[in-house]
């Protein structure tokens, strides 16, 4: 063994070598181990006859220390690379969902889909946050209005991988859309007037009423004006299930307008119109409704992931509503049992179905 090599070993043990010199020395030591193993196989374990200096205790300790040091450096390098990748992915994910207000748009699509396809359901206490590795979590509570109370009845959690929802868990308590029947349907629903009558006095209810014909938004507002109950959702004629079929079932493709319009934080198309103006003006309400349908259509892959129905076919629905106008065939209302029971005397109400009922909470 040369004096230079011995000096390198001493410097290595004392930590005086640079990283490049250490790597070069490690490679040389690994070669020496391979030579030593080969010689032992050929001439036996008596290494003192070959190179006594390589077999002394100090050299073995140096070799052992070198191997562990190399392993430690490899682990630190791998960990550093993982941290850098995580930070980079997190940065790209945040930029992706912030670009063009994409996260807020997805939030609007989810809230709008619930509001337009689930009668008397709205999203409350919502939140969304990008994660690392190109995903975003969204969560919200689903509530319905019964009397003067807005009650949370379920939760919805979604996870996105870039553009695509990868899991969701929307479950509604009832098939609420079967509570409506279109004037064009040949089937009939069993009326719940008897169920209303046996409810105790001082009860407020959620009722699904179907109309005897299609009415415009303005006509429905006139019929409900001055009543001691409150509308919360309107069922809108979305066209025949099959194009050209006049005997369709509207409730197979449930679409409707919430009484309180969805405020879309990502959109400026309302032109500064307040929610109260939309509520009070039937024409403005209809325009807002169609605008929301277009928003959902642009992100139909998200909407279909949320809905409990297999397919919206929104392109045909929007075309039909824009051609024929917004025509309403039913509504969800809430209020005192006695007031809603009086609707059986109204010729424009064809059926009533009772949803949730609560003890008195009405002002």
pLDDT digits (tens, 9 = 90+) for 331-352: 999 999 999 999 988 999 988 8
Mean pLDDT value of segment 311-320: 82
d(CA 115, CA 257): 7
Asked if 307 contacts 117 with a C-beta cutoff of 8 angstroms, the reply is yes
Q: Is the pLDDT of residue 148 over 60?
A: yes
Asked if 139 contacts 118 with a C-beta cutoff of 8 angstroms, the reply is no
d(CA 246, CA 235): 18
d(CA 11, CA 342): 99
Q: What digits encode the pLDDT tens for the residues 123-132?
A: 888 887 787 7
Q: Is the pLDDT of residue 248 over 50?
A: no
Task: Give the per-residue pLDDT at 36.
Answer: 64
Classify 172 as helix, strand or coil: coil
Percent of the residues in the chain that have a pLDDT greater than 90, as a whole number: 18
Q: What digits encode the pLDDT tens for the residues 262-311?
A: 877 655 444 455 566 667 788 888 999 999 999 988 888 888 777 666 56
Tell me which range, 29-38, 100-109, 185-194, 224-233, is most confidently predicted by mean pLDDT: 224-233
d(CA 60, CA 237): 86
Torsion of CA 343, 345, 349, 355, to 10 degrees: 30
Question: Residue 33: which pLDDT band, with cuts at 50, 70 and 90?
Answer: low
Mean pLDDT value of segment 68-80: 82
Percent of the residues in the chain that have a pLDDT greater than 70, as a whole number: 74
Q: Token pair of 351, please?
A: 């059926």
Task: Give the per-residue pLDDT at 22.
Answer: 74
């Amino acid at each position: 063994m040369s004096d230079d090599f011995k000096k390198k070993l001493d410097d290595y043990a004392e930590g005086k070598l640079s990283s490049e010199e250490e790597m070069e020395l490690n490679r040389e030591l690994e070669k020496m181990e391979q030579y030593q193993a080969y010689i032992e196989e050929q001439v036996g374990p008596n290494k003192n006859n070959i190179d006594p200096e390589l077999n002394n205790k100090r050299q073995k300790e140096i070799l052992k220390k070198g191997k562990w040091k190399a392993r430690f450096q490899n682990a630190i390098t791998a960990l550093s690379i993982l941290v850098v990748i995580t930070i980079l992915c997190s940065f790209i994910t945040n930029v992706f969902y912030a670009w063009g207000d994409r996260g807020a748009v997805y939030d609007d699509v989810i809230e709008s889909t619930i509001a337009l396809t689930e009668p008397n359901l709205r999203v409350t206490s919502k939140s969304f946050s990008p994660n690392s590795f190109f995903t975003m979590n969204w969560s919200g509570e689903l509530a319905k209005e019964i009397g003067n109370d807005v009650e949370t009845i379920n939760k919805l959690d979604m996870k996105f991988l870039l553009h695509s929802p990868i899991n969701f868990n929307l479950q509604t308590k009832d098939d609420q859309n079967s509570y409506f029947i279109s004037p064009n349907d040949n089937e009939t629903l069993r009326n719940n007037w008897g169920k209303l009558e046996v409810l105790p006095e001082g009860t407020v209810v959620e009722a699904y009423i179907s109309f005897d014909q299609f009415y415009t938004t303005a006509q429905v507002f006139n019929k409900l004006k001055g009543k001691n109950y409150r509308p919360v959702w309107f069922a809108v004629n979305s066209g025949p299930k099959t194009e050209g079929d006049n005997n369709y079932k509207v409730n197979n493709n449930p679409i409707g307008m919430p009484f309180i319009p969805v405020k879309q934080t990502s959109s400026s198309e309302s032109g500064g119109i307040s929610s109260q103006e939309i509520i009070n003006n039937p024409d403005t309400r209809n325009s807002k409704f169609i605008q929301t349908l277009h928003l959902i259509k642009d992100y139909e892959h998200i909407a279909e992931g949320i809905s409990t129905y297999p397919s919206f076919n929104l392109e045909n629905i929007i075309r039909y509503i824009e051609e024929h106008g917004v025509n309403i065939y039913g509504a969800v209302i809430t209020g005192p049992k006695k007031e809603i029971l009086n609707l059986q005397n109204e010729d424009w109400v064809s059926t009533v179905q009772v949803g949730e009922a609560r003890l008195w909470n009405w002002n």
